Amino acid sequence: MTNVQFLRIKKLTGKAIIEVAARHNHREILAELGAASGGHIEPARVRLNRVLRGHGTAAGVASHARALMDAAGIKSTRKDAVRGLELIFSLPSDSSIDHDLFFNESVQWAGEYFAVPIISAIVHNDEAAPHCHVLLLPLVNGRMVGSDLMGGRAKLLAMQADYHVRVGQRHGFTRQAAQKRVSAAARKQALDRAFKMLHANSGLSEAVLLALLAPHANDPAPLLLALGLAMAAPTAVKSDFVKMMTKPCKPEKSIGFRKS
C-alpha cells in the first residue's frame, strides 16, 4: 500500500504560546492525560515519547527561546507577532520503516530548510499514529519573521516538495494532493470541539480560550491533531465556540475582538 507523506506547519502567536505548545508536547498538561473526553493520548505510553532536540521541560524550552531573542536584541514583540512555527511529521500507525531514522531525518531537514533555531523536537508514541512536533524560533538576522518564513500557498507547496525530495520519497512516501478548503461549518465545529475540551479540562477562562483559539479559525486541523482530536463532519447546531465569539461583550471586559 502506498503511503502519503504527512507534514503540517502552523504559526504560534500569543505571549506565552511557546511554553503552552511545549507543555502539550512534553505532556505537562495533566488534563490531556486520559481525562479529556475524546482525547487520544494513552497515559501508560507517555514514557515512550522521546525528546530529540531541546530541553526536557516546557519552561526550559521557553527560557531558551527567550535567551535567543535577548541575545538578538529583541526585547519586545507585537501582540499579534508570530513567536514560533510548529511542524508536525507523522507516520501511519502500521508503518514498518525505521521510526528513529525517519524522525531524525525530518528534524534535520527542518533545521536546514528553514535555517532558524530548533528549540524543541519531540516524538509522540502515545497516540494512534507516531508523530513528531518540532518548534522553530523564526529568528533571522535579529528579527522575528514567522509570517514571512511560513509564507503563503506557493511557499507551502515548495516546502512540501522539498521535504518529499529530501526525506519523504526516500522512505517510500508519495506527495499529498492539494486539499480542498474545509467548509466554514466544519471549521466552526472543529473549534467548538477544541473549546469544549479545553474549557472542561484546562482551567483557563473563556476570554483566554477565545484568544488562544481565534488564530486557528481558518485552519483548525493542526490544533485538533495536537489535542488528539479528529476533524468531524459539521452539524447544523450552532457551536458553543461561535456563540462565545458572537455574544455581546461589556466594554470594560473587552478582549480585543472587533466586528468585521
Please write the tens of the pLDDT for every residue from 64-90: 999 999 999 998 888 889 999 999 999
According to the model, what pLDDT value does residue 252 have? 44
pLDDT tens digits for 36-72? Answer: 545 678 888 999 999 999 999 999 999 999 999 999 9
Residues 51 and 101 in one domain: yes
Residues 90 and 168 in one domain: yes
Residues 151 and 115 in one domain: yes
Q: What is the mean pLDDT of the chain?
A: 85
The lowest-confidence range among 108-112, 132-136, 151-155 is: 151-155
Whether the predicted pLDDT of 108 surpasses 80:
yes
Pairwise CA distance, residues 168 & 178, whole Å = 16
Please say which residue of 125, 144, 174 terminates a domain: 174
Whether 33 contacts 27, CB under 8 Å: yes
Instruction: Look at residue 258 and tell me if it is in a domain.
Output: no
Distances, alpha carbon 64 to alpha carbons 78, 102, 111, 180, 224, in Å? 20, 26, 16, 38, 27
The lowest-confidence range among 11-25, 93-107, 203-217 is: 203-217
According to the model, what pLDDT value does residue 200 have? 85
The grid coordinates of residue 10 equal 502552523
According to the model, what pLDDT value does residue 249 have? 47
Residues 121 and 194 in one domain: no
pLDDT band, very low/low/confident/very high, at 163 (cuts 50, 70, 90): very high
Instruction: Look at residue 259 and tell me if it is in a domain.
Output: no
The grid coordinates of residue 44 equal 501508560
The DSSP code for 179 is: P
Measured torsion, CA atoms of residues 95, 98, 104, 105, in degrees rounded to the nearest 10: -80
226 or 53, which is more confident:
53
Which residue range(s) make up the domain with 242?
184-253
According to the model, what pLDDT value does residue 251 have? 45
Q: What is the pTM of this model?
A: 0.68
Residues 140 and 26 in one domain: yes
According to the model, what pLDDT value does residue 253 have? 41
According to the model, what pLDDT value does residue 21 have? 95
Instruction: Give me the number of domains the chain comprises.
Output: 2
Mean pLDDT of 156-162: 95
pLDDT band, very low/low/confident/very high, at 185 (cuts 50, 70, 90): confident
Residues 115 and 214 in one domain: no
| Phi, psi (deg, nearest 5) at residue 47 | -65, -15
Residues 35 and 140 in one domain: yes
What's the CATH number where 92 sits? 3.30.930.30
Mean pLDDT of 213-229: 81
pLDDT band, very low/low/confident/very high, at 224 (cuts 50, 70, 90): confident
Report the percentage of the chain scoring pLDDT > 70.
81
